[in-house]
Structure 1
Amino acid sequence: MIRLWHVAQSRSFRVLWFLEEISAEYDLVACSFFDRSLRDAAHLARSPAGRVPAIEIDGLPMHESGAILLYLAERLAPQLRIAEGAPARAAFLQGLHYAETLGAHLANLTQHHIVLRDDWMRSPTVMRLEARRLENALRAIGPDWVAGQFSVADIAIGYAVCMAQRFVPLPQTTARYADMVLERPAFQRAMQKDGPAQIYTRDFYAPPEG
């Protein structure tokens, strides 16, 4: 039995997408950032930081999306990982963790554009700087799958690329990579199950001029 606690447009989408890739049976528990459900004792026992994803796999709790992806691939879908000792193993691991580099820039941009609601709270300098950093970091992505074949590294990176489009124009090779992501039937199914927008209500958040 797999149960996933999920917030629309968040990193838990990575795990949702993976579960659709392998046609898994799972329970999806829709959560919200705008009530106290992620701070109650039961959820904090699953995810000490009070975040998503949180998942239970046959009673085993996990709460970090990169670790969840790798664990589930090892256990349920070895075709979605690159095995130890394989020539593409280094590229696979680097891609899986490079998603967190992109995620750090996305988190800062989301914080400034969306979470900090009043203009006086925001730093236009940080917003412009993070947008440039994100655009530069994206140049390393594409046009092919991270390790030469689709894997959970692409689920991690692909989610970040899709979110990045809300803040910066994609470099040409990254845009081709994004097209491959969007064409995957499992990605499309996961988007249908993602739920109503909770975080990003606009298609694009431009950095302030300056």
Structure 2
Amino acid sequence: MITLHHCPQTRSMRSLWLLHELGIDFEVETYPFDKTLRSPAYLEKSPAGRVPALELDGQAIFETGAITEILCERFSPNGMGRGVDHVDRAQWLIWVHFSETISQHTAALTQQHIALRDDTMRSPIVMKLEAARLGKCYAALEARLKGREYLLDSGFSAADVSVGQAVYMARFFAHLDGFEALTDWYERITQREGFKASLPGKDVLFSETFFPAWDMPS
């Protein structure tokens, strides 16, 4: 049995979406976004106390990029994945891992807007810089997606899942206005049943409200 250890609206949503796209049997253990992830039992699965962690064949695997590569190689090497001899292999790897470039800026903004509860600890300068860096990521995606339906010429893949989840989170801090190809792609992939199945329920870290990066929270 495959078990995903998951917190809603975190990077583990990336793995959850991929598992739904693969159409394989799995279980989900959901955690609150708190010190539960620092318990000795969980640290045996993910030594830094982060999600996701994936149990597969008696092993605990962590890091979303590694989980994506292992799942695709095992269950869909030339469907959701791209095998080592596939013409799109390099591009697949590039965009799967580009999702982390986006996510690192979103994580910085999450810390500023959510984790730092005292306004005096927050930095409008950091907020503005990190939101601008998300804009640079959007521009890179816009250039890639012009004239394409998906990130790869060979069609939808785990690269779209990885980047799509990263953009889902980034949109809470930097909107997609002005990025036409990116917006069209995002609307296309988020109509998929796998994406809808990976969305959080009522308990969320983020609302649908866009956080202005240049303002101190009131």
Same fold (TM over 0.5): yes
How much does 1:145 deviate? 1.5
How much does 1:86 deviate? 2.3
**Contact 1:131-1:168 at 8 Å conserved across structures:** yes
Q: Which residue of 1 aligns with 2:31?
A: 31
Q: Which residue of 2 aligns with 1:178?
A: 186
Q: Which residue of 1 aligns with 2:106?
A: 106
Would you say 1:188 and 2:196 are equivalent positions?
A: yes
How much does 1:202 deviate? 4.4
Q: Name structure 1 gaps, 5 residues minimum.
A: none
Alignment of 1:114-133 (within 5 A): 114-133=114-133
Cα distance in 2, alignment partners of residues 198 and 111 from structure 1: 15
Secondary structure class of the residue paired with 2:55: strand
**Contact 1:8-1:196 at 8 Å conserved across structures:** no
Q: Name structure 2 gaps, 5 residues minimum.
A: none
How much does 1:138 deviate? 0.9
Segment of structure 1 superposing worse, 50-59 or 197-206: 197-206
Amino acid at match of 1:6: H
Cα distance in 2, alignment partners of residues 203 and 175 from structure 1: 18
Superposed CA RMSD: 1.5
Cα distance in 1, alignment partners of residues 5 and 38 from structure 2: 13
Q: Which residue of 2 aligns with 1:158?
A: 164
Secondary structure class of the residue paired with 1:200: coil
Alignment of 1:128-147 (within 5 A): 128-141=128-141, 142-143=145-146, 144-147=149-152
Q: Percent identity?
A: 39
Q: Which residue of 2 aligns with 1:58?
A: 57
**TM-score when normalising by structure 1:** 0.93
**TM-score when normalising by structure 2:** 0.90
How much does 1:209 deviate? 4.4
